[in-house]
Amino acid sequence: MSDTDLRAQAEEAVREGRLGEARVAFAELLAAKPSAATAAVILRQREFLAPVGSPARLEAEDGEDPRPEDSEERVGAANASRTSRPLRAAFLRSFTVEPVVPLLEAYAACHGLALETWVGDFNAYVQELLDPASSLYAFAPDVVFLTVLADDLVPALTREFASQTEDTIAAAADEALATFGTCVRALRTHSVAPLVVQNLEAPSSPAHGLWDAQAACSQREALQHLNQRLRQLCREVPGAYTLDYDALVAQHGAATWRDQQRWAAARMPLSRQALLPLAKTYARYALAVAGRTKKVLVLDLDDTLWGGILGEVGVEGLQVGDDPRGAPYRELQRAALELRDRGVLLAISSKNDHDDALNAMRTLPGMLLREEHFAAMRIGWQDKAQSCREIAAELNVGVDSLVFLDDNPAERARVRHELPEVHVPELTDPASYAARLRD
């Protein structure tokens, strides 16, 4: 679907009051075209996507009867995602983060969270944190991001590394850790806001080149060790967390992450391709602070958890395993198990014969997920939106805690329409299912 079509689809969903579909369509548009212009289009609809203020009420206007679509349930769903005010996110930085901010706000809005952001001056993070009368504390943040580059904080471990000795490297690392410690303790003295500290990126081309791994003083090891010490520091301070920026860069590719021309012109180290991945990472922390983490993954069976339709091909015809046709479904199951190990509850919503489905789960070779892995199951012929309601009630969570994964576009649309607070990702190629779940 083209960018124009995605935008038209999203704006039509807004006009018709289809919140779940609008959020998904705008998220797809942002992924397809991650730009300030796209963010501006989304943020113009922020009050609809991520409402704040007084709860909506069910009442007639100008003496008329309430519209049929304004049911108690739908108004309740709107109120479930409504907050009293935007979440305030502050950025203390050593580089230009401004291009990331609108993408962050737009991504958060697509997930039902209104954000208000504040960005501190260049390299003023220590002063801002130490001064209780600073602009940072006047902003009264709900979450603070400390985003400092290794080049700015500890050049002896980056661009100046080749001229250093073991002693000067150790001293520079100690000084950098002391600076982090000052920042973490200062915020904890003056604020209860969580602090997310971005760790330091290792160079893609170390000073010793191919011999870095053999060198007595490895540049990569020096930065990795400093990151380990930073992680331990944050573990020891309540409400302090590390964001693994080094791993994020490696995941997306260091060669395409940085833009030296933008860095030289505007102290903006990030390429255009890096902006959305970083914005999404910041947004996930903000969503967690706002209590918007998802607690339950609701999975379909046919063509989602396994390949094929049980009622048509039988257990013998289902696809799951290490062969090319079954591997995508096995990988999805592996991703679901990873989430379960992190505390996410798994559930099933499937239109199938109950006994046949359980038999397939118990006997199908290659399955990683079995009956005992699921906290709730709705296998039968009832509406899947109703199944989601029942699963939420059984597990004692709100429906806004659910993620619904189903290969069928009609089922996804139905759940989005009936339960806009449920997160319903788009699914296309089975090969991308696991990546979509991990994203």
pLDDT in tens, 87-144: 999 999 999 999 999 999 999 999 999 999 999 999 999 999 999 999 999 999 999 9
Give yes or no for a contact between 53 and 84, defined as CB atoms under 8 angstroms apart.
Answer: yes
What is the DSSP code (8-state) at residue 95?
A: S
Topology of domain 296-438 in CATH is Rossmann fold (3.40.50)
Calculate mean pLDDT across residues 324-343. 97
Q: What is the reported pTM?
A: 0.86
Residues sharing a CB contact under 8 Å with residue 426, sequence separation 6 or more, in sequence order: 24, 28, 412, 436
- For the cut 70, the answer to whether the pLDDT of residue 155 exceeds it is yes
Share of the chain above pLDDT 70, in %: 92
What is the spatial distance between Cα 431 and Cα 233, in angstroms, rounded to a whole number?
39
Per-residue pLDDT reduced to its tens digit, 138-152: 999 999 999 999 999
427: pLDDT confidence band, cut at 50, 70 and 90? very high
Name the residue ranges covered by the structural domains of the chain.
86-289, 296-438
| The pLDDT of residue 147 | 98
| The pLDDT of residue 83 | 62
266: pLDDT confidence band, cut at 50, 70 and 90? confident
Q: Can you say how many angstroms the Cα of residue 355 is from the centroid of all Cα atoms in its chain?
A: 36
What is the spatial distance between Cα 377 and Cα 345, in angstroms, rounded to a whole number?
11
Q: What is the CATH number of domain 86-289?
A: 3.40.50.1110
| Cα torsion through 55, 56, 59, 64, rounded to 10 | 150
Q: What angle do CA 246, 252, 253 make, to 5 degrees?
A: 80
Residues sharing a CB contact under 8 Å with residue 340, sequence separation 6 or more, in sequence order: 346, 373
Question: Of 16-20, 51-55, 220-224, 428-432, where does mean pLDDT reach its minimum?
Answer: 51-55
